[in-house]
Structure 1
Amino acid sequence: MYFSHTRCVHLSVFCCTLCSLCVLCDLFSPIGGAIKPVVTFTPNWRNILYHDNVTLTCGVPSTAPEEPRTYHWYKDKRPIPGDHQRLHIIGSSVEEGRGDYQCQTIGGDISDPVFLNVTLNHVILQRPPSVIYEGDPLTLRCHHCRLYDAINTKFYKDNQEIKSSESHSTFHIPNITRSQSGRYKCTKQIHHNDITNVVELPDESFISVKELFSPPEIKVPPSRVIEGDEMTVRCDTRLDPLRGGTELHFAFYRDGRTVRGYDVSDTYRVPSSQPEDSGNYTCEVRTASDTVRKMSDGLYIQIHDYKMQNIIRLGISGFVLSATVCFIYFHNKW
């Protein structure tokens, strides 16, 4: 097929226009996809008293290009003043401070909302704003209004006292577990106008600890392993998508003895399995920081002897052949 000169000119113009549009798209599109920032608090509490100050920071992933940025801030999905990476909030009133905060950079995605609670209480139990996973450190703070003096801080879990201090107002758990989920409460003795007027005031919050990864499970495909075959043992677990960047290490055991130490691979392989490789297999998963460990249930793996398999197959074949001959013989006789 032949094209006229005019059609070639039109086609060239079309291609150039298309290329120009692609260049413009590349210029105005974010490099490497949408950049989703994260809002963090300093101090790292999701609830403050009405006279407290907090600084919000719009954190951009380190993979994003390092260049000056303009930031946009939102409260309850409405734009608020501020074009810098940090936003200072003064809890001068409950209505002005309380709400869901988000940030965004030009060409990037908007962050997930983070709730800041501003209250008028005399005593509050402060906790971090982020979701708490097993293995995370957790610090709780029994905070009081600065207009009053306070002593004798007490912390409770499910109405059982877990800490008491005359001067320290924090309670720290280095590596929290799911069994430590529950209702936490703190109390303080507040001195009002004079030392004779003392009132013990409480505040409480339910702490829910999420599962970082599921209990592991031993899997062996195929389920029947013959001597000489490659045996593949997999330690299957599911990591929470919100913590997808967590590095896990896997170890494998046979009859309680280590057959492969901790490694990032979730698979243990035996190139040519032998009967002595039979046994009760378990695997263990831990985080790289070793703050969370989980062991699987045992699975007995039998390596079937190749010679014995042939003997069994020959025996079955001989039985079938004999039964067939007998059937034909008696069928013809009758």
Structure 2
Amino acid sequence: MKLSCVPMAWALYIPSAVFWAAHLLVVAASFSGSPWDIPSSAASFETLQCEGPVSTEKSDCHMDDDLKDPRETDYQVKGYTFSEPFHLIVSYDWLILQGPATPIFEGDPLVLRCRAWQDWPLTQITFYRDGSALGPPGPNKEFSIAVVQESDSGNYHCSAIFRSPGPGSPETTSTVAITVQELFAAPVLRASPSAEPKEGSPLTLSCQTKLPLQRSAARLLFSFYKDGRTVRSKGLSSEFQVPTASAEHSGSYWCEAATEDGQVWKQSSQLEIRVQGKCVCVSLVCV
């Protein structure tokens, strides 16, 4: 199913648009396929496309005021399937900074675009975070970070000089707040049934952490270490099992959780495992 809605507006604020589909795709005419979080310059032409796996003869775009059912929080109303809301702002500004429409997590790429009214040519483009320039002025309209970290969060803006209309017309955008969210917390290593198992009993080490709901489909790989050496390399299981514990299994353990591409990885604190020896009875006294 594909539905195109074409808004053309001057100096209006358009509330959250909600589109039918399993997933949202916003396509701006000059950079189709990029998940930009518009503010959109006032005289530019934007196309909003609604796409999903469901085929239907009737599709439509809706504004916030159209949807009043309390079940809309689940994006399911009377048999229809809705996308998540998307905020579209039509701006008066001559120059705007476009950022991502979806939440940004550790390990994601980040692309910001400094965009002029009617895409007029720019020069001396400079990007800033929290008021500090991220590089010298230049011709590049895009600023990108291949793998973001939480430390990349901040208030971004850009400045540029219009080459037309009129020479040397400088402009600065409003700031855009970028928050890089934690993809997963540092794992915690736990021992079952305890960190002091009896010799001959089973021991299970669990590397515990959790992905956010928005990234629940992603997979983490887990590794386990003892006394500075690897006891199990990367695998999908978050558990490391010792069927029969013995004195040689005593030591300092920790685990690591990592994304499949290795861009984000975190280690647990160390956990001391002390395997308790069996009782030996001598003259009716167990020692």
Q: TM-score band (shorter)?
A: 0.7 to 0.9
Q: 1:241 deviation in Å?
A: 1.4
How far apart are residue 117 of structure 1 and its match? 1.3
**2:109 counterpart of 1:137:** yes
1:219 paired to 2:210: no
| 1:198 aligned partner | 169
Q: Which has the higher helix share?
A: 1
1:110 deviates by 2.1
CA pair 267-69 structure 1, distance change in 2 beyond 3 A: farther
> Hey, what does 1:178 align to over in structure 2?
150
User: 2:66 aligned with 1:78, yes or no?
Assistant: yes
- Secondary structure of the residue aligned to 2:173 is strand
In the alignment, residue 178 of structure 2 is paired with which amino acid?
Answer: I
Distance 1:104 1:74, change over 3 A: farther
RMSD across aligned C-alpha pairs, in angstroms?
A: 2.5
Per-residue deviation at 1:267? 0.2
* Residues in 2 aligned to 1:147 and 1:174: alpha-carbon distance in whole angstroms: 25
| Residues in 1 aligned to 2:83 and 2:118: alpha-carbon distance in whole angstroms | 33
With structure 2 as the length reference, what TM-score do the two structures score?
Answer: 0.79
Map 1:64-143 → 2, pairs under 5 A? 67-68=55-56, 70-78=58-66, 107-143=79-115
Identity %: 30
Matching residue within 46, 50, 58 for 1:54: 46
| Counterpart residue number, 2:32 | none
Structure possessing the higher relative contact order (Cα contacts under 8 Å, 6 or more residues apart)? 2
Counting matched residue pairs gives: 252
Structure 1 range deviating more: 163-172 or 278-287: 163-172
In the TM superposition, what whole-angstrom CA distance separates every residue of 1:145-200 from its partner, at most 9, and x where no partner exists? 137442111111122211234221101111111111111121111245432x4324
Structure 1: runs of 5 or more not aligned: 1-34, 80-102, 317-334
Q: Residue 315 and residue 112 in structure 1: after superposition, are their counterparts in 2 closer, same or farther (change >3 A)?
A: same
1:42 to 6, 12, 27: 27
The 5-angstrom pairing of residues 1-334 of structure 1 reads 37-43=22-28, 44-47=35-38, 48-60=40-52, 67-68=55-56, 70-78=58-66, 107-146=79-118, 148-191=120-163, 193-195=165-167, 197-223=168-194, 224-307=196-279, 314=285
Q: TM-score, normalised by structure 1?
A: 0.69
- Contact between 2:202 and 2:241, CA under 8 Å: does it hold in 1? yes
Distance of 1:147 and 1:108 partners within structure 2: 38
Residue identity in the other structure for 2:24: V
Q: Secondary structure at the match of 2:272?
A: strand
